[in-house]
Amino acid sequence: MSMHRVRTLVALVLASASAAPASAQGTSVLPIADAKARVAVEREIARAQAKGLPTQPLIAKAMEGVTKQATGERIRVAVASQAKRLEQARALLAPSQSVAELTSGADALAVGVPAPMLKQLRAAWPVDRSVAMPLDVLTELVARGIPAKHALEQITALMKRGATPSQIASLGTSVQADVAAGLAPDAALEVRARGVMSLLPSPAAAASLAPTGSRPPR
Amino acid sequence: MIRAAALGVLLVLATRGAAAQALPELRFEAGYASLRQPGLGELGGNSTADAALFAVFWRRPTDRWTLYTSGNLTYARDSLAAAQGVAAVSFPWAEFSPWRTDVGAAGASFSLRSAGSGGNGNAFVRQHYVTDRGGAWGGATVGGTTRDGLWSDASAADVGAWGRFNFLYASASVSRLFTSDQLLFETAGLVAPNEPGPYELADWQLVLQLRGGPHDLTGSYTRRRTVAGADFGQEAYAGSVTVQLTDRAAFIGTAGRQLADPVRGLPQADLVTAALRLSLGPKPLPVMQRSAIAEALVTPVPGGGGDLEVRVFAIDTLAVEIAGDFSGWKPLPMEREGSFFVAHIRLRPGKYHVGVRTNQGPWRAPRNLARVRDDFGGESGLIVIP
């Protein structure tokens, strides 16, 4: 057999594998009672996988639908929507490809964070640092009703000052506590961001900590 | 005969409406009722009537208030019809307060498709004190009824208490009624035409209910005596059963004697009803019910991550479950601790969606978490663990 034929055969096998229903890839455990709907959901997952998207958040979305007793068609639409958001997040967060970052990006888009803001947030940190946590905090703050622009400004300011993911996450926790105590979300964010900022090194020191060549644009 | 049937139909309407008020979401009920009014037969009227029932119930809870309304439409075999509507609001005095106030009004019209007509209007206010194991209430109702142009008014005051012992619920109440509605008691064979009233009545009632999941079996005993205006005493037994057939369908059956209710214009009758309840349409918006308020608290643990504690204030609730990303959306039972159901979950740093539900109801977000739409018409709570 010639090398060309071998390559063609491998390509065909790979193509057929990626086009196969997700049931052949370990997702047949989806407990969707309606067999037709289950196949449709598995097909959505297989389609996403063929595009190189992570399937784990899609399976999680399907399981959420099952638990919430959604119809098969509604689960399929939800999985397709999540896949679309993951694909959009992958483009916006490039070159990030981790499941956590793509999932965080997709969830940020789901709550209404404008797409360009994902790019801005990605640019605030070197490409080798995960922006999953900052994205999660941004999502939480926007879901609380804080304008996305304001939330992004505060978070990126902290990122550029060298805040750790844990410090950024604690910002969200503190805002939550303040809101529960009766403070307006916007005001709580302002105060808490200032508090975290006071613990961080000066801008000059933070800049010197960033790896050469991967420093975010100013 | 027309008047008898109209009164009977109205009785069925009110009985169904009262049963529906304990239900959440948008529901429809359809069924059949058979009525018997022996006292009316003795007066030369038709003592029995069959009726088809249709009822709609809708409830909209918010963080603090619950607004609910219901409508009933009934057609009897001799082409009579009746309609009833109820609108009420229920609200606690403060978060986690055991004090709750119910205020509402109801209106009914009957004999819509026949000669003669009538109607009833009433309004009520009731104050509740609710704890984990029991509660008490006191309230007042005023109403008026018109039949073929004859007006009569009525008022009532009642106090009661209830207690829960595992799956058994028991309540006892006493009430005092004042009314000038002679026709109501005359058709029941209780007063003579020369006893025009007004009447003062004293009732006491005992209700026992067994609850198992979504099913229940209820029995009641009522004793009535006259204080002024007439001289008679009565006893009445009634029972009902609710069997949840599927997530969306339930069978409801009732049988027994309903004593005349002058405030709502309901005649005395022996009745048997069978109805099918369907839960259709959108579920209520995913906010916590008044009686089941969930809150989430995170305690950071050394080395990252945190302990998520979710507490659900859920009086009068049999089971509370929690689910989320952390469980692969598999529901996990929460443990009862006094008036609360509690779950403790160790989580690694990251973002999690959280949902809580009571008694197999809709999934809701703990109220102090950020809320996000879930792609399924509901929502989840969102929490970020440092």
Please indicate, yes or no, whether residues B240 and B297 belong to a single structural domain of this protein: no
Please indicate, yes or no, whether residues B275 and B330 belong to a single structural domain of this protein: no
**Chain B contacts of A107, Cβ < 8 Å?**
351, 372
Considering only A176-185, B170-179, B323-332, which range has the smallest mean pLDDT? A176-185
Confidence band of A172 (pLDDT split at 50, 70, 90): confident
CATH number, domain at B206? 2.40.160.40
The answer to whether the CB atoms of B384 and A140 lie below 8 A apart is yes
Q: Domain containing B50: what range?
A: 2-279
Q: If you measure CA to CA, which chain B residue comes closest to A105?
A: B351
Chain A residues within 8 A (CB-CB) of chain B? 60-61, 63-70, 74-75, 77-78, 81-82, 100, 104, 107, 110-111, 132-133, 136-137, 139-141, 143-144, 165-167, 169-170, 172-173, 176, 179-180
Give the span between the Cα atoms of A110 and B134, in whole angstroms: 43
Indicate the residue among B248, B279, B310 that finishes a domain: B279
Give the span between the Cα atoms of B8 and B48, in whole angstroms: 9
Give B25-76 pLDDT, tens digit per residue: 577 888 888 877 766 555 555 667 777 778 887 766 554 566 667 777 666 6
**Inside any domain, residue B287:** no
Confidence band of B227 (pLDDT split at 50, 70, 90): very high
pLDDT value, residue B159: 96
Is the CB of residue B377 less than 8 Å away from at least one CB of chain A?
yes
Beta bridge partners of B273: B33, B254
Please indicate, yes or no, whether residues B213 and B313 belong to a single structural domain of this protein: no
Give B299-352 pLDDT, tens digit per residue: 888 878 889 999 888 766 668 899 999 999 999 999 988 778 899 999 998 999
Indicate the residue among B245, B279, B313 that finishes a domain: B279
Please indicate, yes or no, whether residues B183 and B214 belong to a single structural domain of this protein: yes
Decide: A123 and A216 in contact? Cβ < 8 Å.
yes
Question: What's the gap in Å between the CA of B28 and the closest CA on chain A?
Answer: 20
CATH number, domain at B310? 2.60.40.10
The answer to whether the CB atoms of B372 and A143 lie below 8 A apart is yes
Total domains in the fold of chain B: 2
Please indicate, yes or no, whether residues B321 and B272 belong to a single structural domain of this protein: no
**Chain A contacts of B349, Cβ < 8 Å?**
133, 165-166, 169
Asked if pLDDT for residue A52 goes beyond 80, the answer is yes
**Inside any domain, residue B284:** no
Q: If you measure CA to CA, which chain B residue comes closest to A179?
A: B368
The answer to whether the CB atoms of A140 and B385 lie below 8 A apart is no
Asked if pLDDT for residue B220 goes beyond 90, the answer is yes
**Inside any domain, residue B123:** yes
Q: What is the mean pLDDT of residues A196-218?
A: 50
Please indicate, yes or no, whether residues B243 and B305 belong to a single structural domain of this protein: no
Please indicate, yes or no, whether residues B240 and B266 belong to a single structural domain of this protein: yes
Please indicate, yes or no, whether residues B181 and B259 belong to a single structural domain of this protein: yes
What DSSP letter does each residue of B294-358 carry, written as one string?
EEEEEEE-TTS-EEEEEEEEETT-S-EEEEEGGGTT--EEPEEETTEEEEEEEE-SEEEEEEEEE
Give A135-151 pLDDT, tens digit per residue: 999 999 999 888 899 88
Q: Which of A14-28, A193-207, B126-140 has the highest mean pLDDT?
A: B126-140
pLDDT value, residue B60: 64
Integer CA distances (angstroms), B261 to B2, B83, B174, in order: 19, 17, 14
**Inside any domain, residue B28:** yes
**Inside any domain, residue B26:** yes
pLDDT value, residue B19: 36
**Chain B contacts of A109, Cβ < 8 Å?**
none
Strand order, beta sheet including B379-385: B332-333, B320-324, B350-358, B379-385, B370-373
Which of B375, B379, B380, B385 to probe the A interface (max A CBs under 10 A)? B375
Please indicate, yes or no, whether residues B66 and B159 belong to a single structural domain of this protein: yes
The answer to whether the CB atoms of A82 and B298 lie below 8 A apart is no
pLDDT value, residue A67: 92
Please indicate, yes or no, whether residues B68 and B181 belong to a single structural domain of this protein: yes
Phi, psi of B45 (to 5 degrees): -90, 180
**What is the model's pTM?**
0.50
3-state DSSP call for residue B245? coil
3-state DSSP call for residue B92? strand
The answer to whether the CB atoms of B329 and A63 lie below 8 A apart is yes
Please indicate, yes or no, whether residues B311 and B275 belong to a single structural domain of this protein: no
Give percent of chain B above pLDDT 90. 26
Name the token pair of B82.
Answer: 């009746």
Q: Counting one residue from A and one from B, how many pairs have CB atoms under 8 Å apart?
A: 90
pLDDT value, residue B36: 76
pLDDT value, residue A102: 96
Asked if pLDDT for residue A188 goes beyond 90, the answer is no
Give the span between the Cα atoms of B12 and A212, in whole angstroms: 81
Please indicate, yes or no, whether residues B301 and B267 belong to a single structural domain of this protein: no
